[in-house]
Amino acid sequence: MPLIGPEPKPGDLIEFHRVAYQHWGVYVGNGYVVHLTDQEGWSSLSSAFGGTAVVRKDRLESVAYGCDYNVNNKYDSKCSPYPAGKIVNAALKQVGKKMDYSVTSANCEHFATDLRYGKQFCDQVDNAKIYAAGGTAIAAGIFAAFAISSMRSNRQKQ
């Protein structure tokens, strides 16, 4: 569970590197993070099928669960974060609440960024949409090329 980079400060976004995705939380100080997760507290991905998740305050090391993690306030260049005290207080007020969960519109990164900036961001979802659109475009291009080739072949046979 090695920390990559600088030590977190209260109000920082923490990115936990899982095998196929990232889990996000807000550092609230004294070794604790507030995050949107399943009942066990390991990640939000297992909540994806249930449609609900819970906000928990857990030890940073427990949430890392053996994975690398780092401070990642990557949206600071897009918009100004709230003051650290406001972020921490807002995060702590959410602890224990059950919330709707959606991989695409209400996940742990949306939750964490909303606390820090008052706006929800999620590059994981945005990137997946881009890749999906790109894959669809490639498939459509292959289909079009095949269709054109078939039409030419049929014309030549006639």
The per-residue pLDDT string of the chain (158 residues; one tens digit each, 9 = 90 and over) reads 578 888 999 999 999 998 888 999 999 999 999 999 976 544 445 444 558 899 999 999 999 988 999 999 999 998 999 999 999 999 999 999 999 888 888 899 999 999 999 999 998 765 544 444 444 444 444 544 444 444 444 444 44
Known active-site residue 17 = no
Q: Across-strand partners of 22? A: 17
**Catalytic-role residue among 17, 35, 79, 110:** 35
Known active-site residue 108 = yes
**Catalytic-role residue among 79, 108, 110, 122:** 108
- Are 66 and 83 contained in the same domain? yes
Known active-site residue 79 = no
- Are 67 and 100 contained in the same domain? yes
Instruction: Tell me how many domains the chain contains.
Output: 2
Furthest C-alpha separation in the chain: 79
Domain containing 130: what range?
123-158
